[in-house]
């Protein structure tokens, strides 16, 4: 049994790195449906359940120090590529589809929680708020909301289970619907003429000013992100707090604004921010999962069913929006997966339609990173009202 903090962190980072290496080099289509980050959830939870490490003061201290300081740095880095000037190129209908997906997901959370909340744990609204951050943005948003609402990692096991199992089902379903796009588009009376033009426009983005990835970039961006993290945390301490606006909430919101603002500066064109942000995300997710335990998942069926109900409500309402505004299946599918799956899976679905449309999936997913944290916090407030 591991008792020192450094070994605990080292094992989690090595485990995440090994899974990512397998995802890149194995050539297996398995990782298209179950990304490495999902396997990291389950793997770290299994190691925790097997009690590979103990919960002593040293390991708890290492966990808190790494997670609390890396989280703002990760959010900043992941938002550096979220250039709002590029997102405008998506066009009105695609942006409509994205926000319709976000709103219908929020409604799905409200309906599902109203149905199932009596069968869930007392503070389940907090874990569902964290999940809504993931399903309206990405895993980084989930981690941000978890920190903002002070959700214990031991309570995140159910959320990770929903985020893994229900998400995987949804990805498979959306990929399976690709051959039926013409039928859906005929039903929704969609005009698909602009899709190819949008994809080509995004694909022609000028990247000549982007410096190549090198050690200088990595060192500078690492130092900047950590300095931003330290500065934002110091600033947040002096801001007013209340039942919903905690110091951590302020930290997350301020660093989100800082990241979006920095994205339109030369920092947004520097290579390395995505790679560093991804590394930090994997470390944070491994840390969260390392505090969960499969042995505690006695109420898992209710949580899995609640997740499926969220997706059902979202899917039905989004189809209604498509019919009303004549949206095509590609726009609806990418909007949905950009919210629920983020940058890890939206480009895969886009590529299933056309390689020219992959940039659409990427930009929609990046938009999710921008709104996911604020959206999840708003959903959390709604769920708290339902919980009474």
Tokens at 350, concatenated? 């886009």
pLDDT at 147: 81
Instruction: Report the pLDDT value the prediction gives residue 208, as an integer from 0 to 100.
Output: 47
CB 297 within 8 A of CB 49: no
**3-class state of residue 199 by DSSP:** helix
> Token digits for 382?
């709604």
DSSP-assigned beta bridge partners for residue 2: 53
pLDDT of 28: 81
pLDDT of residue 344: 63
So what's the pLDDT on residue 242?
Answer: 66
Residue 109 · residue 383 · CB < 8 Å? yes
Please name which of 318, 300, 338 lies closest in space to residue 137, comparing C-alpha atoms.
Answer: 338
Determine the Cα–Cα distance for residues 88 and 84; give it in Å rounded to an integer.
6
Give the model's pLDDT for residue 303: 85
DSSP-assigned beta bridge partners for residue 5? none
Query: In tens digits, what is the pLDDT along the chain, a chain of 388 residues?
Result: 888 899 999 999 999 999 999 988 988 878 776 778 778 878 888 888 888 988 888 998 998 899 889 888 988 888 787 766 766 766 788 889 999 999 999 999 999 999 988 888 878 899 899 999 889 987 778 888 888 888 887 677 777 778 777 877 887 788 778 888 889 988 998 876 666 666 566 555 544 455 677 888 899 999 999 999 999 999 988 888 765 567 877 887 788 788 888 888 888 888 888 889 889 888 987 887 787 766 655 557 888 899 999 999 999 999 999 999 999 898 899 899 888 877 666 776 777 776 567 667 777 877 887 888 889 899 999 999 998 7
What pTM was estimated for this model as a whole?
0.68
Tell me the C-alpha to C-alpha distance, in Å, between residue 335 and each of 76, 133, 141, 260, 344: 23, 15, 17, 20, 14
**Residue ranges of the domains in the chain?**
5-387
**What is 5-387's CATH number?**
1.20.1530
3 state DSSP class of 2: strand
- CA dist., res. 272 & res. 280, Å (int): 12
Q: Residue 206: what pLDDT?
A: 47
Q: What is the dihedral of CA 273, 274, 277, 278, to 10 degrees?
A: -150
Supply the pLDDT for residue 355: 59
Residue 89 is classified by DSSP as: G
Please name the residues in contact with 134: beta carbons below 8 A apart, sequence gap of 6 or more: 141, 142, 163, 340, 342, 372, 376
């Amino acid at each position: 049994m591991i008792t020192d903090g450094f070994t605990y962190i080292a094992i989690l980072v090595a485990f995440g790195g090994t899974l990512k290496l397998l995802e890149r080099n194995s050539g297996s289509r398995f990782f298209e449906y179950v990304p490495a980050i999902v396997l990291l959830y389950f793997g770290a939870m299994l190691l925790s359940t097997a009690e590979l490490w103990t919960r002593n003061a040293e390991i708890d201290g290492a966990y808190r120090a790494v997670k609390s300081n890396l989280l703002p740095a990760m959010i900043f880095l992941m938002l550096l590529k979220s250039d709002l000037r590029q997102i405008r190129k998506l066009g009105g209908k695609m942006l409509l589809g994205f926000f319709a997906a976000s709103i219908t997901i929020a409604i799905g959370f409200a309906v599902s929680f109203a149905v199932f909340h009596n069968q869930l744990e007392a503070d389940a609204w907090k874990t569902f708020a964290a999940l809504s951050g993931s399903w309206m943005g990405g895993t980084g948003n989930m981690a941000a909301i978890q920190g903002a609402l002070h959700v214990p990692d031991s309570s995140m096991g159910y959320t990770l289970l929903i985020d893994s199992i229900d998400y995987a089902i949804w990805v498979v379903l959306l990929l399976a619907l690709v051959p039926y796009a013409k039928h859906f588009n005929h039903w929704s009376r969609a005009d698909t003429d602009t899709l190819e033009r949008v994809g080509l426009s995004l694909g022609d983005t000028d990247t000549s000013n982007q410096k190549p990835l090198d050690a200088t970039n990595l060192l500078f961006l690492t130092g900047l992100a950590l300095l931003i993290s330290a500065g934002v945390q110091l600033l947040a301490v002096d801001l007013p707090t209340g039942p919903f606006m905690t110091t951590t909430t302020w930290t997350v919101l301020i660093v989100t604004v800082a990241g979006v603002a920095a994205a339109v500066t030369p920092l947004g064109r520097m290579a390395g921010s995505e790679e560093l942000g991804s590394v930090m995300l994997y470390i944070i997710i491994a840390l969260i999962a390392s505090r969960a335990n499969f042995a505690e998942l006695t109420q898992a069926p209710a949580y899995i069913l609640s997740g499926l109900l969220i997706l059902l409500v979202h899917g039905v309402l989004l189809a209604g929006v498509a019919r009303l505004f004549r949206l095509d299946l590609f726009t609806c599918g990418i909007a949905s997966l950009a919210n629920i799956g983020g940058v890890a899976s939206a480009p895969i679905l886009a590529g299933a339609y056309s390689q020219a449309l992959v940039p659409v999936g990427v930009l929609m997913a990046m938009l999710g990173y921008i709104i996911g944290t604020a959206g999840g916090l708003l959903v959390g407030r709604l769920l708290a009202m339902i919980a009474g």
